[in-house]
Amino acid sequence: MQTNSKDTICVHAGEQTNQFKSINTPIYASTAFGYLDTEERLYPRYFNVPNQQALIDKLSMLEGSESGLIFSSGMAAISTAIYGLFNKGDHIVFQKGLYGGIINFILHDLERFGIDYTILENNFTESFLNAIFPHTKAIYIETPTNPLLSIVDMAVISEICRKKNLTSIIDNTFASPVNQTPIKFGIDVVIHSATKYLGGHSDITAGVILSNKQLIAKISKTALNMGGSLDSFTCYLLERSIKTLTVRVEKQNTNAQKIAESLSEHPSISKVFYPGLPSHANHDIAHRQMSGYGGIVSFELKNQNADTFMRSLTLIKPALSLGGVESTICDPSTTSHRHLTIEQKAKEGISDNLLRLSVGIEDVNDLISDLYNALKTNK
């Protein structure tokens, strides 16, 4: 298929022909495939059955990668990528402000398996450069970050990695392929928690690694042993969901921008975090590398209780996870970053009155009214 349109890619990439000429990819509800008279050895744990391949073909075209792997969760993708690419004695540089799950993984598992690391105190270019040692093998970034929506310059990171012969890895979950394609900026490995925007309906759990054939082949050896593959039915659901990805994300982008602007003017809000606001510290970088600013708006309440505020909402649902068509909200202090100590939360800028709003596709005026009514209730 020859097209650069993400709308068309979402709908048609990865289509597989079959004897019945069905429009949708059939669900191959089998873990056993014949192998005589063929070189193929199909098996779900080998990441090569038809539903897995159809999905990876679609995602690879969306992100501009050569190949990929689909996993049972985002953390399965992250951990497999790291264990597949790096060895005991290697060193990885991690940016400041990563998702709480990856921080927990770094602090509790990397050192135990002999992989050295540095988590930066800030994301200045000099800090990345100063953290590189002879045994450094990679730089791992996430942009926008969860939940404070910090922005890291992908072009700068990829240039550093190219000059230092390092592997660049990005968690692209918050942006989705609709809002940014890191491989075009020179990033080597792109990871998604497909549970979020790729799935988009709060009903599946999955993860994705996308890269060139050489790195995917290397990761595949570890992936096969760790066994984090995804079943065919969930692959089918995820492929179906991605058909509406651009429609959903573009609506979420528009809604989130309006909500961020509105909350910025409310006297009960002390701070709003959104890269689409000119007041954002790295708005210029976001404007340069993103085609849309995403559907997440984080904000801090001014002298108000987060739990009481969330209980006052009627349309927006307090819930874990994000990226669905319905708007949800949570306090990162007790959810995504709950495993961190009080000191670690403070270091990451996670306060008790911080809220992360995942904006859905509802009418934006209804969402703003719901937020404002809850703020009035809390006065």
- Assign residue 18 the CATH number of its domain: 3.40.640.10
Q: Tell me, what's the pLDDT at 379?
A: 52
1 domain residue, yes or no: no
Predicted TM-score (pTM) of this structure = 0.95
Q: Tell me, what's the pLDDT at 378?
A: 57
Instruction: Answer yes or no: do 250 and 238 share one domain.
Output: no
Question: What's the structural domain count of the chain?
Answer: 2
Instruction: Answer yes or no: do 32 and 138 share one domain.
Output: yes
Q: Tell me, what's the pLDDT at 338?
A: 75
Q: Tell me, what's the pLDDT at 101?
A: 87
Q: In the chain, which residues have pLDDT < 70?
A: 339, 377-379
**The two three-digit tokens of residue 230, written as one number:** 């995804």
Q: Tell me, what's the pLDDT at 377?
A: 65
Domain closes at, from 198, 218, 242:
242
Q: Tell me, what's the pLDDT at 9?
A: 94
Instruction: Answer yes or no: do 218 and 270 share one domain.
Output: no
pLDDT digits (tens, 9 = 90+) for 281-315: 999 999 999 999 999 999 999 988 999 999 999 99
Range of the domain at 188: 6-242
Instruction: Answer yes or no: do 93 and 234 share one domain.
Output: yes
Residues with active-site annotation: 45, 99, 171, 196
**The two three-digit tokens of residue 244, written as one number:** 């509406």
Pairing of strands 328-330, 317-318: parallel
